[in-house]
Amino acid sequence: MFEVLTGTGLAASAGLNAYIPLLTMGLLARYTSLIDLPSGWQWLSNGWVLAILAALLAVEVVADKVPVVDHVNDVVQTVVRPTAGGLAFGAGSGSETVTVSDPGGFFSSHQWVPVAAGVAIALGVHLFKAAARPVVNATTAGFGAPVASTAEDATSVLMSLVAIILPVLVLAFLLGMVAFVVWFLRRRRERRRDREAARAAGYRV
C-alpha cells in the first residue's frame, strides 16, 4: 500500500511540475538514506542527470510565471509532465524508502503498470492545471500567474517529500486536490451563470 501511495504522490507532483519529483528523488537517493532507488532507476541520482533536471526546472519555474508564456509552456508540458509522472511512479513505487523497507512484488509481474498509472495521474493533474491557469490569468489581469505558479511549485515539493517520507499523508493531499477541483468547477459554473444572467438583463433593457 505504501508503494502505491509513494508512486501516486510523486506522479501527482509531476502533474504540477515535471522536474521537482524526479530531482527530489535523485537528490535524496544521492545524498541521504531516505530513499534507495531500485537498480533500474539509479540513473536518477547521477550527477549529470541531476544537473540537467535542475536546469530544466529553472526554465520551467521562470516560464510558468509569465502570462501567455505559461500557456505555451503548459502545451509543451502536456507531453513532458505525464512522461515524468510515469517515471516518478515507476521509480517511487519500487524504491526502498524510510517507510517501505521491503518493496514487494505489487507491480513486479507487470512492469508497465506503474509507468502507465503515473502517466494517467500526472496527465489528469496537468490538464486541470492547464485549464485553471487561463481562468486565473483572466480574472487577475495576469497578476495571479506568478502567485499560482509559486503555490503549485511549493505543493509539488511538499507532495514529493511527503510521498517519500510519510506516504500515508498522500491520501490527505489527494482528497484536498479533489475538493479543490470540485470547488473550482462549481465556482466556474456560477460565474458563467452570472455572466449569462447579466447579458440577458442587458438585452431586456
- CA 153 from centre of chain: 9
User: Cell for 180?
Assistant: 479543490
* Any domain includes 199: no
pLDDT, residue 41, reads 79
* pLDDT tens track, the chain, 205 positions: 667 778 788 888 888 888 999 999 899 989 988 888 877 778 888 999 999 999 999 998 888 888 778 878 888 888 888 888 887 877 766 665 655 555 555 555 555 566 677 777 887 887 878 777 777 777 776 677 788 888 888 888 988 888 888 777 777 777 777 787 777 778 777 777 777 766 666 655 5
Query: What is the per-residue DSSP string for 138-162?
Result: HHTTTTHHHHHHHHHHHHHHHHHHH
Rounded Cα gap, residues 19 and 14, in angstroms: 7
Residue 101's domain spans which residues? 2-168
CA gap 119, 127 in Å, rounded: 12
Query: Tell me, what's the pLDDT at 54?
Result: 94
34 inside domain: yes
Residue 23 lies in a domain: yes
- Rounded distance, CA 164 to CA 32, Å? 12
Residue 188 lies in a domain: no
What pLDDT, on a 0 to 100 scale, did the predictor assign at position 15? 86
pLDDT at 52: 92
Given a contact cutoff of 8 angstroms between Cβ atoms, the answer to whether 84 and 21 are in contact is yes
Q: What is the pTM of this model?
A: 0.72
pLDDT confidence of residue 48: 93
Predicted pLDDT at 37? 80
In a domain, 173, yes or no: no
How many domains would you assign to the chain?
1
Q: Specify if 77 maps to a domain.
A: yes
